[in-house]
Amino acid sequence: MLYQLVVFLHILFVVGFLLAHGVSVIVAFSLKTERDPQKIRFMLDLSAASYPWMTRLMWAFLLFGILAAFMGGFQARIWPWLSLLLGFAIVVAMGLFGTNIYSDARKLLGLRYSVKGKWFPPEPAGNIEEVHALLAKVNPVMLTIVGYGGFAVIVWLMRLKPF
């Protein structure tokens, strides 16, 4: 019974994480066409507002997922650790190809910005054309494929437990 509760909480926190992260996904696609600096600032602030919840929920689903793997006796199998490794790879890819670029855009827009998870106060705003050029580097379709596709593989590993 306790094992089912732990698995339930793991799934519940994954759903919460995906809901919180949905804000950033919509913002990523919207920023591809937005030219108004005020709207860009608003969208980047909206996305950043979801980070604390996203992070807390990610740690919660990781904790309950690892706990479930041990409670279910799966710690000697490959699939739970492969799932963790894939999740880590997704986080790194999202950081490199999304979060870091958006943080640089925040800095250029005169907003508070983060470097490796640490927030810094706003600096004087830069040129809006630099912001547009920076945002043009982000490929939200690729980020979605990495994130959604990676999660799909993790779900496959957890459901089928192939090895």
pLDDT tens profile 37-71: 999 999 999 999 999 999 999 999 999 999 999 99
Helix (H, G, I), strand (E, B) or coil at 119: strand
C-alpha radius of gyration, the chain, whole number? 18
Q: What is the mean pLDDT of the chain?
A: 96
Give backbone dihedrals phi and psi of 120, rounded to 5 degrees, phi first. Answer: -125, 150
pTM of the model: 0.88
> How many domains, in total, are found in the chain?
1
Please give the residue range of the domain that contains residue 50. Answer: 2-160
pLDDT in tens, 17-39: 999 999 999 999 999 999 999 99
Nearest Cα to Cα of residue 142 among 102, 90, 100: 90
